[in-house]
Structure 1
């Protein structure tokens, strides 16, 4: 059985195991991360960032609600657990801060505040694989767009202190930096994506921004998602706000080979789905064991499609239906137990597990939230401003 066939089988066996209870204030679930339990007996937590400016914590096994951090003055962009300390959870906010909470404490107060420069409005962030560096991307203010870096060490020792940035990169993008993703195993590598259409790969160990910029790839559209894939994670891929897909091989940078593996202008036109359609892309996931890159997409009625990527094109692997009743905005696939977490505009957090049986199969009605998620993203089609270094 091929790797893709095995994953098809796994996907076909996924059923809803748990469904989070609707909270008193329903909100779109925008981003999901799971803690990496340090102890095997710890079941771990799920953190979800919501459109009502709150972060909610749930038990990873039962999806029972644990607590909520709701004292945010601005829009949240992303939520991440530390890689080496499963009690620390981070989020970036449009007020120009990245905050860190200790989930063991029953306090609303962040244990650490990473402050940006005046006028910084953050719309993306990530923390590197050894938890030493945080990077946040800003919206464009006047003519400026920044990648801001902080030293993330010592979070537990100096509660409630504010950390100033180590410095910034300011030359490589000229519009909102919508996504940042550190390399899964190489702590000094980070990739950034922007509404200017550019996807930039940096080695932050270098002395200055010019030397740090290893590669500039142009998606020809506004970047909505980026990730790493391939053996040793030497490939980078992105999705765009108009549902395009680009995939590059960074290992070919020093060779004569072209680095573009695949460029699809509109995935909705190329993936054939019987008796259904594809309305949007949510994100991607590289499956290490199978050495295979997958995209997650869906329909406005809540169906979830898993799409397989190859250099000769994209193909549907399978569909999860009867779970969500509205657009799915976030997912987190746990490859160790092959479970999948999904969150959407129906304010539902679902845990899918192989062969699970849900006790109640009542599908929740769609939420029509008046103040739809304020995504201040300016989509640019004309990304010809790929500046040559």
Structure 2
């Protein structure tokens, strides 16, 4: 089934939200593929949000960012196995703004915070290798996002607005130094930076100013490096590179744009209302896009409704012509903030405001669930046993 929309269709009014629900009775006749929870791990007993997640290229490891802390997990045949390192490992004084594995080494990761630092860690010994930062001025440039290029040689980081200026900073990973920065191409905070998956010098950045800028960072000057700008006429939030130099952008208003970077054309635009219709849901104000992913030569996005603790989660394929229903996810209990996709094994990982890391597989799966409630019960049992063993 193919769902096509008029790109000029205006979003529904969000002033009068409605109770969300499916617009059709037999939803599985449209979303014929169902995913169930294979494993769920609770990262914290406290009310904390998982805001960032990253996976190694071979999907053997997952790192999450939860407030001011990162947690590392091995992906096993039965679920997840948490790394237990030093007490001070992966804990920061400021909130995390990004996490990224190296492309060619599953043991190296970088983590950024809004304090302007990008910390590089080696997971083999839980040691910090280096901290990248722009220390050329007294004022700290807060890092909002960053990425590592295909050769693991460069880091590009986007900053928040500082004294009416916004920066794209570039670091040389091997030489451990700041290479320089651009500060004229964006007027408001940079919300995402994404290197091309194979062209190591090509990088895209987006901002709340509505611009998506494409750079060739092998050029020394900003004027020479800026190849072209794409105007979303919205507040841009997330970028994703796809095959044949296609680039998707999720806006802060939950619209989805698809561009051909080579021709600089907007291939298609879907509004939040279009996305809601494609999900077969009623309430526009509740429906959001979590992230975009690649599935073979095709493109896909994961969307959710925040109604009733985010119980509705669905994935849909898209191209320059239409949106096609793909998967329905059964049993979600949290509002989602991040998603990962293992294309090789057709496995999803989601994280969110319930501090849960959930692994999804197709079909009905015997689930192993570690929820906050079960963790609290286990903690309570341990306390009772300890008290009972005390002879006094």
Q: 1:60 matched to which residue of 2?
A: 75
Pair 1:267–1:99, CA change in 2 (3 A): farther
Q: 1:342 matched to which residue of 2?
A: 350
Counterpart pick for 1:45 among 57, 61, 68 = 61
What number of residue pairs does the alignment pair up?
Answer: 334
Q: Deviations over 1:151-183 (max 9, x none)?
A: 0126xxxxxxxx441000111001000100010
Unaligned runs of 5+ in 2: 3-28, 374-392
Pair 1:113–1:315, CA change in 2 (3 A): same
Counterpart pick for 1:248 among 256, 259, 276 = 259
CA apart distance, 1:276: 6.0
Q: 2:95 matched to which residue of 1?
A: 75
* Contact 2:189 2:207 (C-alpha < 8 Å) held by counterparts: yes
Q: 1:225 matched to which residue of 2?
A: 238
Q: Measure the CA separation in 2 of the matches of 1:362 and 1:179.
A: 32
Question: Is 1:266 aligned to residue 283 of structure 2?
Answer: no
The alignment's TM-score, normalised by the length of structure 2, stands at: 0.79
Partner SS, residue 262 of structure 1:
strand
Which structure has the larger Rg? Answer: 2
The alignment's TM-score, normalised by the length of structure 1, stands at: 0.79
CA apart distance, 1:26: 4.5
Question: Is 1:115 aligned to residue 133 of structure 2?
Answer: yes
* Contact 2:40 2:357 (C-alpha < 8 Å) held by counterparts: yes
Q: 1:95 matched to which residue of 2?
A: 115
Partner SS, residue 150 of structure 1:
strand
Counterpart pick for 1:23 among 35, 39, 44 = 44
Pair 1:203–1:65, CA change in 2 (3 A): same
Counterpart pick for 1:216 among 199, 210, 229 = 229
CA apart distance, 1:200: 0.6
* Contact 1:15 1:356 (C-alpha < 8 Å) held by counterparts: yes
Query: How large is the Cα RMSD of the aligned pairs?
Result: 2.6
Q: 1:159 matched to which residue of 2?
A: none
* Contact 1:54 1:71 (C-alpha < 8 Å) held by counterparts: yes
CA apart distance, 1:275: 5.6
